[in-house]
Amino acid sequence: MGVEGIGASVVRKEDKRFITGKGRYVDDIKLQGMTHAHFIRSPHAHAKVKGIDSSAALKMPGVVAVLTGQEIVDDKVGNLICGWAITSKDGSPMKMGAWPAMAPETVRFVGQAVAVVIAETKNLARDAAEAVVVNYEELPAVADVHAAIKSGAPQLHPEAPGNQVYDWVIGDEGATDAAFAKAANVVKLDVTNNRLAPNAMEPRAAIADYDSAEEHFTLYTTSQNPHVARLVLSAFYNIAPEHKLRVIAPDVGGGFGSKIFIYPEEMVALWASKKVGRPVKWTGDRTEAFLTDAHGRDHVTHAEMAFDANNKITGLKVKTYANFGAYMSLFSSSVPTYLYATLLSGQYNIPAIHAEVVGVYTNTTPVDAYRGAGRPEASYLIERLMETAARQLKVDPAALRRTNFITTFPHQTPVIMAYDTGDFNASLDAAMKAIDYAGFAGRKAKAKADGKLRGIGVSCYIEACGIAPSKAVGSLGAGVGLWESAEVRVNPVGTIEVLTGSHSHGQGHETTFCQLVAERLGVPISQVSIVHGDTDKVQFGMGTYGSRSAAVGLTAILKAMEKMESKAKKIAAHALEASEGDIVIENGEFKVAGTDKAIAFPMVALAAYTAHNLPDGMEPGLKESAFYDPTNFTFPAGTYICELEVDAGTGKTSFVNFVAADDFGRLINPMIVEGQVHGGLAQGIGQALLEHAIYDASGQPVTASFMDYAMPRADDLPSFNLSHTTTLCPGNPLGIKGCGEAGAIGASAAVINAITDAIGKNNLEMPATPDRVWRTIHAA
Amino acid sequence: MYQTVYHRASSVDEAVALFSKSSEAKFLAGGQTLLPVMKQRLASPTDVIDLGKIKELQGVELSGDVLTIKAGTTYFDIMQNADVKKATPAIAYLTSVLGDPAVRYRGTIGGSIANNDPAADFPAALLALGATVKTNKRSITADDFFQGLFTTALEDGELITAVSFPVPAKAGYEKMRHPASRFALTGVFVAQTKSGEVRVAATGASQSGVMRVPAIETALKANWSPSAIDSVSISASNLLADIHGTAEYRANLIKVMAQRAVAAAR
Ligand SMILES: Cc1cc2nc3c(=O)[nH]c(=O)nc-3n(C[C@H](O)[C@H](O)[C@H](O)COP(=O)(O)OP(=O)(O)OC[C@H]3O[C@@H](n4cnc5c(N)ncnc54)[C@H](O)[C@@H]3O)c2cc1C
């Protein structure tokens, strides 16, 4: 490893611009003649739109247009799609309720847009919006999954009787029933995985610019995957053919999944820009973020685990109700199915698993992938079950896990996934050592003497990332392939531009991706720049989510690098009058191995472009591209252990220690990995203790601002004690597994296991607010 | 439609005069409540009269047994002030757990009590310490000043100039912070006056705003110690209940915070 190569904690190149306020986000962009959009949103969870009177608004100063849902439908802009087809157990396809970009007839959640005002300024648009009179006829609404599936419940979509999207199953029911019939012990648990609002720091925004002469659109948008956005806008929403639509996702301030999806606001901005003949800008505010960014999680689950007399797991049965909100968002259908139920084996040898997932419509904001997407729900369930089992079977929770760990690889689980490698004992050992697990009993006794309730909680998570082999996901219903693309452009003077289909919105690609180039060529990272986020500059790519950018995106870069290096070696060999096989790359030079004959990389590049003296038949130039499709998912795994104290008087939790031992395969930049883990842990702990997007029974959101929705702050969190136990991923040449979601996946179970240990009661829902913990302690 | 005229007053008299000339004016202190409300378009004053540059509204004075905090003094300045720390450290502590740093740098004691949010911290201190609110027109005792949720004895256009606190024998404050906003989920201020009277006030708990807690006052009068509160029973009826705390939880918090405030009292 060089000072800037793989494994070096290089300071992030992009931070200078972020920290000095020089970042360029969508809202920073101002176009000539730009107008501003303000959406008129439903205050009702469920209502008929009887009429929209915009006559007064149209007379107000600066108003350019008021456009309605009926007009967007009349103009044949397509309904929003869900890109992963799920089939119910009876063989029927999932039931899709129509979702127009603005509601022409029926609104189904608070915040759904019915019309948009376009005006000269944002404030004038907002003023005029207050003068638009929308006549609603309120309908009964339902926000809770259990209420929604009851007979007689308000119905959301005629396409989905009983508000059911699908009833999907995985695993072998017969084998699972047989395991339960023979079980020595059965452990049962009901858990709710609380709904979360993602809250990226930068709210969503879009600027659409239609050029009537070229019939060409440019869209600046807060997207994690601009090419996918262009594809969907072109192929399904009839905005424009792909070559007439340029999508730019400039600096993007956080996504966590919520910026994967194509939202109504982008569609409306594009359509409106053509209608009014001027650029249209929309920047959401925090309230709109709470109301319209796709939420995460929201499962209600009953699970049972069967054990034999030796405390070995013999079977697992799971039934989950997943709340999808009012409409099926872009990848929502896959989250509680293929991203959740396929991980229900956890780190354990479980011979038989059967899971059933019922997807349900409710009058709430749509739910889709949020950091971890399905895997946090699976990991939380399994790790709560293991803890419950240890308590019921009266064995040490760490020992029970060890008894059941998968120790030989590859391992085929009964739920599709084939784990390639791992060492679950190693990460458990490392975490137990880091927290002095053996000394806990003494610490608990001492705390008790001081009047404190102390607890410890273990969570051994596994996840599947690096999504994903295109053929595999295609066979499971995905509408896209999940490969990645790269192009390596060597300039004539030897500087390098790497064009990637991955998109950085906090991950640090502009640094880590350069580190690979530095590692291979021995050039400083200052000689390399990463180009991403613009469909006009970068070849088609799939974007960033599911901790895929290093395992898939960086591997694509490696493949392109290898092609480029191979050509460069030929050029160097020709110049040095040596054989290609003898050329080695060292410290920015191409050398004849074992001699002092060398040519600097910039001279190789120059030779490629002057083309005065290339090997016969070689094309000039030095630019190569690659598409890389992984052969398997990657399986990051690890153990988190949390030690905390609960104040019996108030129910408040204080952390004593939090240790994380992760196996992410090879680390490119350990500092950036650490940052990713910190952020993930904050989100996992936030889910466990603080965050909850709540609706009342009539579908009104109760937590639509930071005054009510508790985001974790630095002083809510402990100092994290991180370590790594590494097994290299055999599935990609760099041995990378991915680290972006682990913290959010593994942390919440560790926290709840620790609190329930401290208070000596096993049943406690998230978020474990002081009030809830206090009531649990004092419940009869 | 939402335009407003901004005025910067340089004296109390000028501020009051500007107010009376405008049709729907608002005084602006730290702006931590007023500005968010205006941004949400829930308030649309025709005129905003900024008190921030009025010298006579700034500062703290300790004279004998009376600590006077001028209305425009920020929480941060109160927290740092040597006289406050000496006379009534519980007030300094209260400001240290109020909101977050941004709120503490901008927010003022005058704005806090004029607003009288049912979960604000300062109203509890005023009520427990038996403070007097000084305005451009009169003096009002804390018992008379706070009149329920967001309601005070202030008349339209009346300007708070200062708050005078009798220096107590002992006082303490403890607060369970609201997990999202950092307001008081419940906060209890306990005070023993130099004449031996005990006053206890709770904020964040009651449906009718800041309140005295007579049962705890009686218990502490008999025995100034946390254990004296063990046997007190607090009814949950008329207490606030929301997603962050049931009424029963708040009833419990009144006791627990009172006990901890007594333990911390100096
Ligand atoms: C995120 C956040 C967290 C907060 N947390 C807490 C907390 O933990 N505890 C807490 O107590 N508060 C909290 N607050 C509220 C904060 O204390 C406000 O500062 C306070 O409520 C108002 O004070 P201000 O100086 O900002 O007043 P402003 O917002 O400027 O004014 C508020 C009202 O008081 C009137 N007013 C102001 N000064 C005078 C005066 N001298 N005479 C007459 N009327 C006047 C104004 O006209 C206006 O109606 C929080 C606020 C925020 C935004």
- Would you say residue A412 lies in a domain? no
Using a 6 Å cutoff on CB, does residue B108 contact ligand 1? yes
The answer as to whether A598 is a domain residue is: yes
Task: Quote the tokens at residue A557.
Answer: 């870069």
Residue-wise pLDDT for A268-293, tens only, equals 999 999 999 999 999 999 999 999 99
Residue A187's φ and ψ, nearest 5 degrees, are -110, 130
Q: How far is CA A63 from CA A29, A119, A206, A457, B156, in A?
A: 21, 4, 19, 58, 37
> A617: CA distance to ligand 1 center in Å?
77
Cα separation, A95 vs A156, whole angstroms: 12
Same domain, A369 and A447: no
Is there a single domain that holds both residue A66 and residue A207? yes
Banded pLDDT at A468 (limits 50, 70, 90)? confident
Longest Cα–Cα distance of chain B, Å, equals 59
Q: Which atom of ligand 1 is nearest to the CA of B203?
A: 11
B181 and A CB contact within 8 Å: yes
Task: State whether B71 and B103 are in the same domain.
Answer: yes
Question: A757-769 pLDDT, tens per residue?
Answer: 999 999 999 999 9
Answer yes or no: are the C-beta atoms of A768 and A194 closer than 8 Å. no
Cα of first residue to Cα of last residue in chain B, in angstroms, is 52
Task: Mention every residue, 6+ apart, whose C-beta is less than 8 A from residue A744.
Answer: A371, A372, A376, A680, A681, A683, A684, A687
Rounded distance, CA B195 to CA B215, Å?
A: 20
**Is B103 a pocket residue for ligand 1 (Cβ < 6 Å)?**
yes
Same structural domain, B26 and B40: yes
- What are A114-138's pLDDT values in tens digits? 999 999 999 999 999 999 999 999 9
Q: Domain limits at B174?
A: 170-264
Does the beta-carbon distance from B252 to A694 stay under 8 Å?
no
Residue A413, domain member (yes or no): no
Examine the domain organization and report whether A510 and A567 are in the same domain.
yes
Residue A121: its pLDDT value, please?
A: 97
Question: What CA–CA distance (Å, rounded) separates A510 from A529?
Answer: 7
Residue A7 belongs to some domain of the structure: no
pLDDT single digits (tens) B159-213 = 999 999 999 999 999 999 999 999 999 999 999 999 999 999 999 999 999 999 9
Q: Say yes or no: CB of residue B203 within 6 Å of ligand 1.
A: no
Is there a domain that residue A75 lies in? yes
Answer yes or no: do B136 and B158 share one domain: yes
Residue type for A133, please? Answer: V
pLDDT over 60 at B88, yes or no: yes
Answer yes or no: is pLDDT of B36 > 90: yes
How many CB pairs lie under 8 A apart between chains A and B? 56
Tens digit of pLDDT for each residue in A686-727?
999 999 999 999 999 999 999 999 999 999 999 999 999 999
Instruction: Supply the CATH number for residue A70's domain.
Output: 3.90.1170.50
Q: Is the CB of B34 under 6 A from ligand 1?
A: yes
The CATH number of residue B153's host domain is 3.30.465.10
Tens-place pLDDT, residues B120-164:
999 999 999 999 999 999 999 999 999 999 999 999 999 999 999
Number of domains in chain A: 4
Sign of CA dihedral A434, A440, A446, A447: positive
| CATH code of the domain covering residue A668 | 3.30.365.10
A775 and B248: CB-CB below 8 Å?
Answer: yes
A763 and A642 in one domain?
A: yes
At residue A780, the pLDDT reads 77
The residue from A236, A267, A292 where one domain ends is: A292
Q: Are B149 and B94 within one domain?
A: yes
Indicate if the pLDDT at residue A1 is higher than 60: no
CATH number, domain with residue B202? 3.30.390.50
Whether residue A231 has pLDDT greater than 80: yes
Output the CA torsion sign for A708, A709, A713, A715. positive
Please give the Cα distance from A695 to A711 (Å, whole number): 17
CA B32 to centroid of ligand 1, rounded, Å: 5
Write down which residue in A292, A325, A358 finishes a domain. Answer: A292
Do B62 and B136 fall into the same domain? yes
User: Does A44 share its domain with A116?
Assistant: yes
Task: Let me know: does A691 contact A768? Beta carbons within 8 Å.
Answer: no
Residue A600 belongs to a domain: yes
Longest dimension (CA), chain A: 88
CATH of residue B24's domain is: 3.30.43.10
What span, in angstroms and rounded, lies between the C-alpha atoms of A138 and A724? 55
| Judgement on whether residues A226 and A301 belong to the same structural domain of the protein | no
Say if strands B66-70 and B160-166 run parallel, antiparallel, or are unpaired.
antiparallel
Residue A1 lies in a domain: no
- Tell me what the pLDDT averaged over chain B comes to: 97
Q: From the list B176, B243, B249, which residue is nearest A694 (CB)? A: B243
How far is the C-alpha of A374 from the C-alpha of A745, rounded, in Å?
9
How many whole angstroms from A660 Cα to the centroid of ligand 1? 41
Does residue B149 share a domain with residue B66?
yes
Closest ligand 1 atom, residue B182 Cα: 8
Q: A577 and A712 share a domain? A: no
| B118 and B43 within one domain | no
Last residue of a domain, one of B145, B166, B187: B166
Same domain, A317 and A266: no
- Same domain, yes or no, for A516 and A588? yes
Cα-to-centroid distance, A700 and ligand 1 (Å): 28
- Confidence (pLDDT) at A425: 98
Distance in angstroms (rounded) separating the CA atoms of residues A358 and A370: 19
Partner residue facing A774 (CB), from B179, B252, B259: B252
> Which pTM value belongs to this model?
0.97
Contact of A586 with A599, CB cutoff 8 Å: no
- Bridge partners of residue A216, in order along the sequence: A211
Same domain, B154 and B231: no
Best mutation site among B181, B239, B260 for testing chain A: the one with the most A CBs within 10 Å?
Answer: B181
One domain, residues B45 and B106:
no
> Per the structure, how many domains does chain B have?
3
The answer as to whether A16 is a domain residue is: no
Both A656 and A754 in one domain: the answer is yes
Q: Compute the distance between CA of residue A606 and CA of residue A621 in angstroms, rounded to an integer.
A: 9
Question: Which residue out of B108, B133, B159, B163 has the highest number of ligand 1 atoms within 8 Å of its CB and is therefore the one to mutate?
Answer: B108
B109 plus B17 within the same structural domain: no
Q: Is the CB of B262 under 6 A from ligand 1?
A: no
Give the nearest ligand 1 atom to B158 CA.
43
Q: Are residues A726 and A643 in the same domain?
A: yes
Q: Quick one: pLDDT at residue A2?
A: 65
A79 burial class (0-12, 13-18, 19+ CB within 10 angstroms)?
middle
> Tell me, what's the pLDDT at A535?
97
Six-digit token string for B110: 């005058």
| Residues sharing a CB contact under 8 Å with residue A610, sequence separation 6 or more, in sequence order | A492
- DSSP-derived secondary structure letter, B155: P
d(CA A411, CA A349): 9
Q: Do A604 and A682 share a domain, yes or no? A: no
pLDDT in tens, A339-351: 999 999 999 999 9
The last residue of a domain, from among A253, A274, A292: A292
What's the rounded mean pLDDT across residues B56-67?
97
DSSP result, A184-224: SEEEEEEEEE--B----SSPPEEEEEEETTTTEEEEEE--S
For A540-558, how does the pLDDT look when each residue is reduced to its tens digit (9 = 90+)?
Answer: 999 999 889 999 999 999 9
Same domain, B196 and B258: yes
Q: Residue A580 pLDDT > 90, yes or no?
A: yes
Secondary structure element (H or E) that encloses residue A776, with its range: helix A770-778
Q: How many CB atoms sit inside 10 A of residue B223's CB?
A: 10
- Whether A339 contacts A371, CB under 8 Å: no
- Tell the residue number behind the tokens 């608004």, with chain if given: A57
pLDDT tens-digit map of A378-436: 999 999 999 999 999 999 999 999 999 999 999 999 999 999 999 999 999 999 999 99
Which atom of ligand 1 approaches the CA of A706 most closely?
1
Query: Where do the H-state alpha helices sit in A188-344?
Result: 226-235, 264-276, 286-292
> Which of these three, B143, B166, B189, is where a domain ends?
B166
- Asked if the model's pLDDT at residue B1 lies above 80, the reply is no
Percent of chain B at pLDDT exceeding 90: 98
How far apart are alpha carbons B128 and A407 in whole angstroms?
64
Kindly state if the Cβ of B118 falls inside 6 Å of ligand 1: no
* Domain of A366, in residue numbers: 141-194+297-406
Residue B243 in contact with partner chain A when CB distance is under 8 A: yes
Residue B2 in this model has a pLDDT that exceeds 90: no
For residue B102, how far is its CA from the centre of ligand 1 (angstroms)?
Answer: 12
- Report the half-sphere exposure of B161 (CA within 13 A, side-chain side): 14
Query: Could you tell me which chain A residue has the CA closest to the CA of B258?
Result: A649
Report the relative pairing of strands B5-8 and B47-50 from DSSP bridges.
Answer: parallel
| Cross-strand partners of A624 | A488
Angle value at C-alpha A349, between A314 and A186, nearest 5 degrees: 30
